[in-house]
Structure 1
Amino acid sequence: MITRITSLITVLILTIACAHGQAYEPLALAKKIFDKDTLSNIATYVIGEYKGRPHGGDLGKGAKTRFMLLEQTAESAVVNMTVLDSTGVGFDTYLHFKKETIWKMSAFRALAQTGIIDRIKTQLEKMSQADVDRVVAEVKKNGKDKFSMFSSQEEYNFLLGNAKLTLALDDHIVQHFVENMAVFEQLKDLAIAELKNKKNDEEGSIKLIAQSKREYERLFIARVSSGGDELGNGINFFIGGVIDNAVGYIYVQDKKDLPRMSPNGVIMIREIGAGWYIYKTT
């Protein structure tokens, strides 16, 4: 009898959902919303701050999209949508969903306030080797002032590489990690060992392995730390960003220690493997 009642309730819920719109899983719904032929009844599939824009009709002519499900629970989901132009240049966005009787999209996110980083990258890329050498020579002669972007070839390499990595597609951020995994693992082990001696007498975010700054800057990592409100007790290999809009790698020994994704905090987490993840915040 109980089984029959449960079945009837399930049928009733599905009937109600179908009356208002077909029930899609988050990944399928993301593809529908950002298809070139946008859903005619898109209002059925939105909730909260997301009102149906942007959608597929807002993407540039010739734009291509790729989708990846980052997380799906009984109540929420996050889908990564990569948008590429005809030359392969693009950006990553993060579509947040909530489950009511059917799945609905609730927020559209991307790494924000990247304009200044892009301008720095462009300015550094325009410099010839002679330009770099001249700046380094002037700093050595006169000292570094507030107008000096860098004081050595190594610092120039870090600034340019860091800006590129901050703005890179998620696939490229993963590739950078994989290509340098051995060094990341060595630095992580040093950070964990140091953290064991610090976590009992310090609160908040703890800066780690300052003695290895040269090594992690070669990987275009700005700093290594642990703790803080959003990222918890993992090892944070911070790449870059402006104010609260950040991107980096995080290592956790136990997956349950990962921060929860939300539109107003950690907007994405993508697993790389062996306890390593990419994260972005807003």
Structure 2
Amino acid sequence: MKHFFLVLCLWLPQVVLGNWVPLEPLQIAEQFVAPAGWPDMKDYLCCEAAGQAKHETLGQQIPARLQRVCQLVQQGPTTAVVAVELRDSLDRKDFYLHFGKEAGAWKLLAIRSLAMTHLGPPMVELLAAMPPAAVAEYDQKHPDASHAFTLGNLRLWTSADADIAAHFARNRADFQKVLRLVQAGKYFAPTAPAATAEQAANADPAVHALLRKLYLAQVTRRQTGCERCLEFVIGGKVSSTVGLLYQPQAALLPAMSPDRLIVLKSLGDGWYLYKTI
């Protein structure tokens, strides 16, 4: 009888808690985006995410043909971000899962992605189909943003994270060169007004030429809320932007959140891919 009560005491907490097991953010993400269902899903969701996934996981709502790759971007004591790439033979898409710790357990709080990128492909298709005469006319009407730049910029804006990272890697020397030019010009000195500094930096002929070569819209420091960072903006709509950020001191980087800076991926040597919402 004594042994029976011992077994009962060991077994009872498992009955009360059911099958719940504490999982790490990457494990939750992988379960949440998998094609099969997840009976324990609601135990790992909170807040906005719980309202969005009432009956099905995100993985069940995504076409089954798509491959899903999860990458842990950041995990601290109370917050974490996991990037998810969806891909098939034709396309790649990225979104980001934001986690928080609740009573010692990780919960998925929100799902984010770059907004309004669906506007890009029709514009790319239109520009790419222009005959040479139309391209020449376009360039005359837009001397500051040629047809080649606009087409390349739109393609980069709507590209997957992996493609933006590849663009950076191919052109790392020019990215370093434009960085040195901006730093040497001291445009973004602590005492300089933000708008004036930004205008002067982007008006510098050498900086401007490299920005256009790299399909970058502008250099600024007003997108991510980081006053000690340099942001090389690719593009976006309203406040939802994508670009490359430079800050060699990790302690000075802005914190990711589902309300503003939705992802910050390291590209090495102080460079990061960032997206805002």
Per the normalisation by structure 2, the TM-score is 0.84
Partner residue, 2:47: 48
Opposite residue 68 of structure 2, the aligned amino acid is T
Deviation, structure 1 residue 18? 5.4
Deviation, structure 1 residue 191? 1.0
Report the number of matched residues: 256
The 1:138/1:166 distance shift into structure 2, 3 A limit, reads closer
Please tell me whether residue 176 in structure 1 is matched to residue 167 in structure 2.
yes
Deviation, structure 1 residue 113? 1.3
Please tell me whether residue 23 in structure 1 is matched to residue 16 in structure 2.
no
The 1:228/1:159 distance shift into structure 2, 3 A limit, reads closer
Q: What is the percentage of aligned positions where both structures have the same residue?
A: 27
Partner residue, 1:256: 251
Q: CA RMSD in A?
A: 2.4
Any idea what SS the aligned residue of 2:259 has?
Answer: coil
- 1:101-151 per-residue CA deviation (whole Å, 9 max, x = no partner) reads 321100000001122222211211222xxx2433424775xxx3xxxxx45
Question: Match for 2:208 among 204, 213, 224?
Answer: 213
Any idea what SS the aligned residue of 1:22 has?
Answer: coil
- 1:138-186 per-residue CA deviation (whole Å, 9 max, x = no partner) reads 775xxx3xxxxx459x711111111111111111111110111111111
Please tell me whether residue 161 in structure 1 is matched to residue 152 in structure 2.
yes
Any idea what SS the aligned residue of 2:219 has?
Answer: strand
Per the normalisation by structure 1, the TM-score is 0.83
Distance in 1 separating the partners of 2:16 and 2:176 = 48
Given that 2:139 and 2:146 are in contact with CA atoms closer than 8 Å, whether structure 1 keeps it comes out as: no
The 1:72/1:222 distance shift into structure 2, 3 A limit, reads same
Deviation, structure 1 residue 196? 5.9
The 1:165/1:138 distance shift into structure 2, 3 A limit, reads closer
Partner residue, 1:60: 63
Distance in 2 separating the partners of 1:157 and 1:278 = 23
The 1:23/1:192 distance shift into structure 2, 3 A limit, reads same
Any idea what SS the aligned residue of 2:186 has?
Answer: helix
Partner residue, 1:233: 228
Distance in 2 separating the partners of 1:184 and 1:266 = 22
Gaps of 5+ in 1: 1-13, 145-149
Partner residue, 1:120: 123
Gaps of 5+ in 2: 1-12
- 1:173-226 per-residue CA deviation (whole Å, 9 max, x = no partner) reads 111101111111111011112236743232468312422212211110010123
Structure 2 counterparts to residues 26-105 of structure 1, below 5 A: 26-51=25-50, 53=53, 55-85=58-88, 87-100=89-102, 101-105=104-108
Question: Match for 1:274 among 266, 269, 275?
Answer: 269
Given that 2:85 and 2:94 are in contact with CA atoms closer than 8 Å, whether structure 1 keeps it comes out as: yes
